[in-house]
Amino acid sequence: MPTVHETVYPRLKSVPSRRELADLYTPTEAELALADRSSKGDTAKLAFLVLLKTFQRLGYFITLRDVPRGIVEHIGHDCGMLIVPDTTEYDDSGTRRRHVKIIRQYLRVKSFDETGQVILSTVVRLAAERMEDLADIINVAIEELIRESFELPGFSTLHKEAKRGRAEVNRTLYGRVSDAIGTDGQSRIDLLLAEPGSESRKTRWDALKQDAKSPTLTHIRDLLERQRWLALERSPVALNALLPEVKLRQFALEAKSLDAARMLEMAPAKRYTLAATL
């Protein structure tokens, strides 16, 4: 599971530099005028500006209790407030809800609603057709939602949808490969994963996963013999015509990490696909 730190999902620095405070969190004249029109009193004005400037930085609304104190103080001092008011009660107030609507209208952004969910679902599935890493898929989704002027949902929403979309795309690919290799290819894979006979403690699957040994003459002969064996086991299906390169490599890596027992626990289409890629 990717963490928020592995993606481009925006976050606030706990201790922004002076340069960052000046560049990112200093209200413009137009924003100060909007705050004056939208708020009554210093506390409401400060809260409005903090909500506005942090949204501009993040693309989603954050509770003021989670905003680093340095940002709040910078905005308050920039407004000429010698003593920065306490905004503790603002997060649960009707004033905040009213401010959210004003900020959305001012910045021309849309709340993440059913339409945003449709866009998210669509873009993660398109991304998952050519990507495997969840962080990469999430990043594509973030960029598209921003381009479409939607607020960003919570990171968990992005992660769940990316994971769900990738799983759906991969299931389609598993079915495509499984059908392509046919019953003959599936039977060969079943034999690879079968329980070893009395003369051996290893399955043929173990032999398939074995890495090449040091380049001695004996080991090179063993390697050539193994290559001949693999040529007979291989299904005559061009997997690179059925799978994107990134999927082919990832599926093969996953297969190599699993023993025969774990492979047999999988749904058949996935099992045959992973085995075929390896």
Higher pLDDT: 169 or 214? It is: 169
The Cα–Cα gap between 137 and 146 comes to: 15
Q: Burial of 17 by CB count in 10 Å (0-12 exposed, 13-18 middle, 19+ buried)? A: exposed
Q: Burial of 47 by CB count in 10 Å (0-12 exposed, 13-18 middle, 19+ buried)? A: buried
The Cα–Cα gap between 8 and 88 comes to: 29
- In tens, the pLDDT along 122-163 reads 999 999 999 999 999 999 999 999 999 999 999 999 999 999
Q: Are 277 and 248 in contact (CB under 8 A)?
A: yes
pTM of the model: 0.84
The Cα–Cα gap between 116 and 16 comes to: 31
The Cα–Cα gap between 184 and 186 comes to: 5
Q: Is the pLDDT of residue 238 over 90?
A: no
Q: Is the pLDDT of residue 34 over 90?
A: yes
Structure tokens at 171: 């299931």
What DSSP character marks residue 91? G
Q: In this predicted structure, what is the pLDDT of residue 201? A: 66
- In tens, the pLDDT along 76-101 reads 998 888 788 888 889 999 999 999 99
Q: What are phi and psi of 103, to 5 degrees?
A: -65, -40
Q: Is the pLDDT of residue 236 over 70?
A: no
